[in-house]
Amino acid sequence: QVQLVESGGGLVQPGGSLRLSCAASGFSLEYYAIGWFRKAPGKEREGVSCISMRDGRLYSADSVKDRFTISRDNAKNTVYLQMTRLKTEDTAVYYCAAGADLATSIQTMCDNPDAAYEHWGQGTQVTVSA
């Protein structure tokens, strides 16, 4: 019953923008944290940006902090990742994940996704290419 579904991925040119959505069903995100993670070919999974649905605390990786914005819409049980000024290095499968928000560091959760996040979506492909 518990599902997370990512959408919004696709092919975009360098410098372009995409907005990814992570929609939850089967449970409320009210007391959860949501994280965006990505896996690029030949690279380890990377925490991109994470947010508390309860109070809006967030963390973003240095590599995307000035370009990506994570946001929440509690009424829609959805989290977004607005990506701007995309680079070829951003090409990856992007996953969202949900974990119980225990009022600890969002950065800590984002840096330890296997321990912190229980529910994972199937991912959406983002390809940045000219």
Token output for 50: 């994470």
pLDDT of residue 32: 95
Per-residue confidence band for 104, with pLDDT thresholds at 50, 70 and 90: confident
User: Which stretches of 67-111 are DSSP H helices?
Assistant: 106-111
For residue 65, pLDDT over 90 is answered with yes
Question: Six-digit token pair at 88?
Answer: 């070829």
Q: What does each C-alpha distance from 120 to 7, 38, 67, 90 come to in angstroms?
A: 13, 12, 24, 20
For 88-115, what is the mean pLDDT? 95
Beta bridge partners of 124: 94
Q: What is the mean pLDDT of residues 46-72?
A: 96
The pLDDT value recorded for residue 125 is: 98
Q: What whole-number distance in Å separates Cα of residue 115 and Cα of residue 42?
A: 23
Residue 94 or residue 2, greater confidence? 94
Q: Which two tokens stand for residue 124?
A: 């959406």
